C-alpha cells in the first residue's frame, strides 16, 4: 500500500503540469475508442497505446471476454460498459485486446485453481466455443490458439448487440482484434484473413461487417 501512496504523491507533485488537462476533462469525456482488455496486471492498454487520460474508454475483465447480447435482469458489467461507450459516448473504434499467458484462458483449458471456481468457471464458459475451435485447430499450443480464438469470439459476440451491429453496418463503428505478447511487448492485429500480424507492419485493422 505504501508503494501506491508514494505513487499518488508523485502524481500530485506533477499536478501543475496536469491541471489543464484534467480541468478540460472535467467538462466531459469524449474518448474515440473503447478497449476491452484482460484484468491481468501485465496488460495495460494505456501504457501500450501511450494514451492520455480521456482518450480510451477501457473495460477490463478476466480474459477480455464479451458475452452475447442478453438483455435480462442479471448483472451485466461488460454489456453495461459497452452500452455506455457505444450508445452514450458513440466511440468510433472498439478494440478487443487479448494477450499471451492469459490465466483466464488457463482456467478454461485446465479448470479453476483450487478454491476459486464460484465465478471464474461460469464466466469462462462464455469462451467455450473458442476452446472447442482451438482444440480442433491447435497444434502444440492450445493455450495460444485459445487466446486467439477467444478474441475472435468476442468480436462475433459484439455483433449480437443490435446497436453495435447497426453502427458497424453504417460504418460509424469499427471493430478490431488485437493480441499483446507480454514477453516481447509486441502487439499484433487481426486481419481479414483471420491471422494476427504485427501492428507496425499491418496495412490496417480488421473491420468487421464492412
CA 99/CA 60 separation, integer angstroms: 12
- Closer residue to Zn ion (CB): 56 or 102: 102
Cβ 100 vs Cβ 144: under 8 Å: yes
Q: Does 56 bind Zn ion (CB under 5 A)?
A: no
Residue from 38, 56, 97, 146 in contact with Zn ion (CB under 5 A): 38
- Closer residue to Zn ion (CB): 40 or 149: 40
CA 203/CA 189 separation, integer angstroms: 10
CA 205/CA 96 separation, integer angstroms: 11
The grid coordinates listed for 148 are: 486467439
Q: Does 102 bind Zn ion (CB under 5 A)?
A: yes
Axis crossing angle, helix 103-110 with helix 128-137, rounded to the nearest 10: 80
Residue from 34, 36, 40, 206 in contact with Zn ion (CB under 5 A): 40
Interacting span for Zn ion (CB under 5 A) from 23-31, 72-80, 101-109, 142-150: 101-109
Q: Does 146 bind Zn ion (CB under 5 A)?
A: no
**What does the binding site for Zn ion look like in residue numbers (CB under 5 A)?**
38, 40, 102, 104
Amino acid at each position: 500500500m505504501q508503494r501506491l501512496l508514494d505513487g499518488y504523491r508523485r502524481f500530485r507533485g506533477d499536478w501543475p503540469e496536469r491541471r489543464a488537462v484534467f480541468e478540460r476533462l472535467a467538462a466531459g469525456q469524449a474518448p474515440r475508442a473503447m478497449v476491452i482488455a484482460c484484468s491481468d496486471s501485465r496488460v495495460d492498454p494505456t501504457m501500450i497505446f501511450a494514451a492520455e487520460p480521456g482518450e480510451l474508454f477501457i473495460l477490463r475483465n478476466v480474459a477480455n471476454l464479451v458475452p452475447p447480447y442478453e438483455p435480462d435482469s442479471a448483472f451485466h458489467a461488460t454489456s453495461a460498459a459497452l452500452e455506455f461507450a457505444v450508445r452514450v459516448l458513440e466511440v468510433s473504434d472498439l478494440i478487443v485486446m487479448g494477450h499471451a499467458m492469459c490465466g483466464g484462458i488457463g482456467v478454461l483449458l485446465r479448470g479453476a485453481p483450487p478454491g476459486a471456481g464460484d465465478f471464474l468457471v461460469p464466466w469462462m464458459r462464455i469462451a467455450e466455443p473458442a476452446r472447442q475451435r482451438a482444440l480442433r485447430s491447435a497444434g502444440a499450443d492450445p493455450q495460444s490458439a485459445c487466446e486467439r480464438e477467444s478474441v475472435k469470439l468476442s468480436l462475433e459476440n459484439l455483433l449480437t448487440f443490435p446497436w453495435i451491429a447497426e453502427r458497424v453496418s453504417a460504418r460509424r463503428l469499427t471493430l478490431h482484434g488485437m493480441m499483446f505478447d507480454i514477453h516481447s511487448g509486441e502487439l499484433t492485429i487481426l486481419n481479414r484473413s483471420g491471422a494476427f500480424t504485427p501492428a507496425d507492419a499491418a496495412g490496417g485493422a480488421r473491420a468487421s461487417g464492412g
